[in-house]
Amino acid sequence: MAPPLHVLVLAAGEGRRLRGAVPKVLTPLWGRPAVCWPVAAARALAPQRLVVVAGEHLPAIERALAGQGVSFAQQASPLGTGHAVLSAEAALAGVRGVLVILYGDCPLVRPQLLQALLELHHQRGGGLSVLSMQVQDPTGYGRVLRDADGGVIGIVEQSDATPEQRAVREVNAGVWALDLPEAWADLRRLGSSNQQGEVYLTDLVGLRVAAGRPVHALCWDEPSDVLGFNDQTQLAEVRELLRRRLLAEHLSRGVEIVDPATTYIDADVSIEPGARILPCTMIEGRVSIAGGCEVGPFAHLREGTVLQAGAKVGNFSETKASVLGPGVKVNHLSYVGDAQVGAGTNIGAGTITANYDGKLKHKTHIGERAFIGSGTVLVAPCSVGDDALTGAGAVVTRHASVGAGEVWVGVPARLHQRRGSNKEPTV
């Protein structure tokens, strides 16, 4: 029987080279802060405890991970990765089993990778296991040192490496498995005699080897799975790899994506098989798209959009916080925000729901089979009934209610006649 599993995510790095407006681990990546990705990978293994170590931005990280079953520890000062792990000792007090350690700025980590390292750790009798990888350019990584028999004898950080060691292409991938509670004593023995004056987690390797205790290493053959980011160039690479992965998941489930190169879909978007996504489309936040829908080209679907079966949004149109019923069409140069649109309704080119009054957002309700003429402005809150019609360029003002089957025209729009009638109403 495998020992209990626990996971520690190190998320105290500042990421100053990014020069971003938020801490590195809170950098948005396809609808989620970066730290949420490794946390999700860890949660897939169902650990008994999942602890995130943060620095001065702990409150913001706590908010980002609220409701995800995570405990927190704080690293009061940025004194290195070994010190960061020791900062979690109180949060893991009394815990026995295996502790997996990974970094909060590695959003491409998969559960399969963590599971593979755990399997190696168990097969080799536990102790300390590290994940490594072979890379063409090892710049910035700690180098994995081996003896003549291939055994791991140390990991040296680049700033402390000799020219010969810097030529090594096997590098530390930043994922660890170690046994608790034994590891705490080793961690407390680590020093800070290095170029950075920090406590390195990687020094655990040399410490164990010097004591005659083995270190196991799994060389992972997909370096992109543990790719992190320290500057904007690396962030762009991570973002692109993650985008492709998300698209591949939708494609595998039967979603048609005509041009993946120009399609951008956030992680929390739900798309049913049989939907069709056309080029130059961006879908952000929690969006739900039913089968038979068509989105794009040049469409922008935002948080809270729901497209029911057969609805269409395209050609420079945008939706936000709106439910479009079955068969609704929003095809040309329109904005539909904070709206409920009934089945079979057609939204004409250039229509907008004016949902914001400068302070608050307001709702627009449009019934079934309505026909909203080109260039209509619906000033929320307002409503349009079933089978109603607005003329081209109509401005339906606040609190107005277009009745079922009525035709409204003009600025401001007024009742003109009822659909199917050639007689103007008595006003």
What CATH number is attached to the domain comprising 221? Answer: 3.90.550.10
Q: How far is CA 328 from CA 290, 331, 363, in A?
A: 12, 9, 18
Same domain? For 257 and 176 the reply is: no
- Whether 50 and 17 map to the same domain: the answer is yes
Same domain, 192 and 307: no
* Cβ–Cβ under 8 Å, residues 384 and 368: no
- pTM, two decimal places: 0.91
Instruction: List the chain residues with pLDDT less than 70.
Output: 421-427
- Looking up tokens 């705490």 gives 184
Residue 225 makes CB contacts below 8 A (sequence gap 6+) with: 108, 109, 110, 113
Domain boundary (193, 226, 259) is at 226
What's the confidence (pLDDT) of residue 195? 83
| DSSP code of residue 149 | T
Whether residues 219 and 291 fall in one domain: no
Contact 340, 366 (CB under 8 A): yes
∠ CA 349-352-358 to the nearest 5 degrees?
Answer: 160
Domain that holds residue 127: 5-226
In a domain, 238, yes or no: no
Residue 426: predicted pLDDT: 43
Establish if 257 belongs to a structural domain: yes
CATH code: domain of residue 308? 2.160.10.10
Specify the amino acid at residue 255: V
Question: Could you tell me if 216 and 283 lie in one domain?
Answer: no
Give yes or no: residues 174 and 253 share one domain.
no
Domains in the chain: how many in total? 2
Query: Do the domain assignments include residue 214?
Result: yes
- Give the per-residue pLDDT at 31: 97
**307: β partners:** 289, 324
Instruction: Please tell me whether residues 69 and 117 are part of one structural domain.
Output: yes
Q: Decide which of 157, 192, 226 is a domain's last residue.
A: 226
The residues facing 146 across adjacent strands are 152
Helix 111-123 and helix 36-43, axial crossing angle in degrees, nearest 10 = 50
**pLDDT, tens digit (0-9, with 9 covering 90-100), for 153-179:** 999 989 899 999 999 999 999 999 999
Residue whose C-alpha is closest to residue 325's, from 304, 346, 298, 302: 346
Cα-trace Rg, the chain = 28
* DSSP classification of residue 382: E
| Same structural domain, 166 and 284 | no
285-317: buried (b, 16+ CB within 10 Å) or exposed (e) per residue? bebbbbebbbbbbbbbbbebbbbbbbbbbbbbb
**Residue 108: its H or E element:** none
Among 340, 362, 360, 352, residue whose Cα is nearest residue 395: 352
Residue 190 lies in a domain: yes
Chain centroid to CA 317: 24
Cβ partners under 8 Å of residue 362, min gap 6: 338, 355, 356, 380, 381, 398
Helix H or strand E encompassing 86: helix 81-86
Residue 269 forms part of a structural domain? yes
Verify that 180 and 288 share a domain, yes or no.
no
Query: What's the pLDDT at 306?
Result: 98
pLDDT for the residue 422: 60
pLDDT reported for residue 15: 72
274 and 168: one domain? no
Query: Terminal CA-to-CA distance of the chain, rounded, Å?
Result: 83
Burial of residue 135 (CB within 10 Å: 0-12, 13-18, 19+) is middle
- Summarised one tens digit per residue, pLDDT across range 365-397 is 999 999 999 999 999 999 999 999 999 999 999
Please list, in sequence order, all residues whose beta carbon lies within 8 angstroms of the beta carbon of residue 12, skipping any fewer than 6 positions away: 53, 54, 55, 75, 78, 84, 87
Shared-domain flag, residues 168 and 285:
no
Q: Are 176 and 100 in contact (CB under 8 A)?
A: yes
In a domain, 244, yes or no: no
Give the catalytic positions in this structure: 332
| Residue 61 maps to a domain | yes
| DSSP letters for 153-222 | EEEE-GGG--HHHHT--EEEEEEEEEEETHHHHHHHT----STT----TTHHHHHHHHTT---EEEEES-
132 within 8 A of 173, measured Cβ to Cβ: yes
**Is residue 241 domain-resident?**
no
154 and 268 share a domain? no
